[in-house]
Amino acid sequence: MSLDIAYSIEVDDYLDPDRAYDFYWSGLIKDKKKFLCPGTDCTAQVTCANLDEDVQDMKVVPHFRIYGSHSKSCEIFNDIPLDLRYEDGVSVKEERRSVDESVVDVFLLERPSSYYDEPKINRFPNQKPVKKSQFIKRPIDSILRENGSVGNIYSVRSVVSRYIRYKKDGSLDHRRVNIQGRDVHYRSIFKCIWEQDLDTLPDYPVIYYGWAFVNRLPSDYGYQIKFKKHFTKSEEGYITTVMIGDRLIDSYKVKKLVTTRLERIIKKEKSTAFVFIYGKPEENVSQKGVKYANFSITNLDMIDINYDCPLPKEYNK
Domains in the chain, CATH or no CATH each: 2-186 (no CATH), 190-315 (2.40.50)
Alpha-carbon distance 95 to 263, whole Å? 44
In DSSP terms, which residues pair with 209 in a beta bridge?
Answer: 192, 276
In this structure, what DSSP letter does residue 128 have?
Answer: P
CB proximity list for 35: less than 8 A, separation 6 or greater: 6, 7, 8, 9, 20, 45, 46, 47, 48, 64
Residue 281, amino acid: P
Q: Is 102 exposed, middle or buried (0-12, 13-18, 19+ CB in 10 A)?
A: exposed
Q: For every one of its 317 residues, what pLDDT tens digit does the chain have, with 9 covering 90 and above?
A: 557 789 999 988 888 888 899 899 988 999 999 999 988 888 899 999 888 887 665 566 788 999 889 988 888 888 887 766 655 555 555 444 333 445 678 898 888 777 777 655 444 445 455 555 555 555 434 443 333 344 578 999 989 988 888 888 788 887 888 888 888 888 888 999 988 999 999 888 999 999 999 999 999 999 999 999 999 999 899 999 999 999 999 999 889 889 999 999 999 989 999 999 999 999 999 999 999 999 999 999 999 999 999 888 888 88
pTM of the model: 0.75
The length of the chain in residues reads 317
Using the 8-state DSSP alphabet, how is residue 133 labeled?
A: S
- Which region holds residue 174: left if phi is over 0, alpha if psi is between -120 and 50, else beta? alpha
How would you write 217-273 as a 3-class SS string? Answer: CCCCCEEEEEECCCEEECCEEEECEEEEEHHHHHCCCCHHHHHHHHHHHHCCCCCEE
Tell me which amino acid residue 313 is: K
DSSP H or E run through 22: helix 17-26
